Amino acid sequence: MLKKLFRHDFAAIGRHMWLFSIIVFATTALGCASILALENIDFDQTSAFFDTIQLILTLTTVMSFLAIYAYAIIGTVNIFKRYYNNLFTDEGYLTFTLPVKSSQIFGAKILSAIAWLLLIGIVEALCFCLFMITALPTYAISSLLNNFGQMITTAAEAVGVFQLVIYIIEIIVASLATVIYQIVLVYMSITFATIIAKKHRMITGVLMYFVSNMLVSILITVLAAITTVISSAFFTADSLTHEIISAEMHVQLIQFFLLYGGAATGIYFFNSFLLKKKLNLP
């Protein structure tokens, strides 16, 4: 049932997001065409017509670039709007009749949010790459790629290929834990605002999110500082070797994952409890 719920949520968000994705690719292509036109048309001629064309092309480029940021904002809002509409509006009556647990509904929405945020990130990365390839000369792109390759090579030589791969995996996992934490925190804020507020639910939800995020961030920072102090107490400046520093970095990344993963897990169960109380789901 979780798989079916995920497919349904993913498709529901995609009704608008696929169209928005096509639009942002189209605007990016238009912006790239404007950049090429600005580079190849001779605007040295003193003419009101050429001045107007140059202004239009410049504005088109800027608006196309801003459209990428707008796409990310619209996509994120669309994801969380789906959560609210599917549970707390008239559409929620259909959701209530499904023979599923609140944890399955909530889990499906988390998975669909992760999937769409990943897709949004990929679309944005592709659009920025298109702009970069169009705007930068070939030698500049080659220089960037060479510098990136040298950075990876230097890192691999310093810590070893295996350790570098482990670092990358740990960074990805820790980043994923942070993303899930932010998703469940927003969902919890929406749920809590719907329960306590009869009016101005959006304002209440936003305030709830910022207050909750601030409190959890302070708690995580304090816990991280305590564990760092405890771990550093076992080492002195003279005892620090390459292996110890490397192990300490692994500990920091794992600690980051555990703290945000733990916070996300706690918020997940708390929001599941709120859903049961509000929606009377099993």
Residue 231 pLDDT class (50, 70, 90 cuts): low
Same-domain status, 130 and 160: no
Phi, psi at 235, each rounded to 5°: -125, 150
Residue 232 domain-assigned (yes or no): yes
Higher-confidence residue of 135 and 21: namely: 21
DSSP 100: S
List the domain range (segments joined by +) for residue 20.
Answer: 1-135
The last residue of one of the domains, among 107, 135, 163, is 135
Residue 116 domain-assigned (yes or no): yes
Residue 141 domain-assigned (yes or no): no
Q: Provide the pLDDT for residue 252.
A: 79
How many domains are there within the chain? 2
Q: Provide the pLDDT for residue 156.
A: 78
CA distances from 205 to 188, 196, 210 (A): 9, 10, 9
Same-domain status, 160 and 110: no
Same-domain status, 13 and 88: yes
Same-domain status, 85 and 175: no
Q: Provide the pLDDT for residue 177.
A: 92
Residue 236 pLDDT class (50, 70, 90 cuts): low
The mean pLDDT value for 267-274 works out to 87
Higher-confidence residue of 188 and 47: namely: 188
Name the burial class of residue 195, with classes exposed (0-12), middle (13-18) and buried (19+) by CB atoms within 10 angstroms of its CB: middle
**pLDDT at residue 45 tops 70:** no
**pLDDT at residue 248 tops 80:** no
**Could you report the per-residue pLDDT of 146-170, keeping only the tens digit for each?**
888 888 888 777 777 888 888 888 8
Q: For residue 243, what are the contacts with CB-CB under 8 A and spacing of at least 6?
A: none
Same-domain status, 54 and 159: no
With tokens 């820790």, the residue in question is 174
Residue 234 pLDDT class (50, 70, 90 cuts): low
Residue 143 domain-assigned (yes or no): no
Same-domain status, 245 and 172: yes
The mean pLDDT value for 13-23 works out to 92
Q: Which long-range contacts (CB under 8 A, 24 or more apart) does 180-183 make?
A: 180/110, 180/114, 180/260, 180/261, 180/264, 181/216, 181/260, 181/261, 181/263, 181/264, 181/267, 182/213, 183/110, 183/113, 183/114, 183/117
Phi, psi at 62, each rounded to 5°: -65, -45
Percent of the chain with pLDDT over 70: 86
The last residue of one of the domains, among 103, 135, 167, is 135
With tokens 């509904």, the residue in question is 105
Residue 195 domain-assigned (yes or no): yes
CA distances from 188 to 44, 67, 90, 193, 228 (A): 58, 29, 20, 8, 30
Q: Provide the pLDDT for residue 20.
A: 93
Mean pLDDT of the chain: 83
Higher-confidence residue of 186 and 142: namely: 186
pTM of structure: 0.83
Same-domain status, 128 and 4: yes
The mean pLDDT value for 41-51 works out to 68
Same-domain status, 122 and 229: no
Residue 182 pLDDT class (50, 70, 90 cuts): very high
The mean pLDDT value for 169-196 works out to 89
Residue 23 domain-assigned (yes or no): yes
Buried b (16+ CB within 10 A) or exposed e, 151-171: eeeeeeeebeeeeeebbeebe
Same-domain status, 97 and 170: no
Distance CA 190, CA 201 (A): 8
Residue 271 domain-assigned (yes or no): yes
Distance CA 68, CA 47 (A): 33
The mean pLDDT value for 80-96 works out to 78
The mean pLDDT value for 82-103 works out to 75
**Could you report the per-residue pLDDT of 204-220, keeping only the tens digit for each?**
888 888 998 899 889 88
Same-domain status, 102 and 126: yes
**pLDDT at residue 115 tops 60:** yes
Residue 126 domain-assigned (yes or no): yes
The last residue of one of the domains, among 135, 167, 195, is 135
For residue 248, give both structure tokens: 């300490």
Same-domain status, 246 and 203: yes
Same-domain status, 187 and 116: no
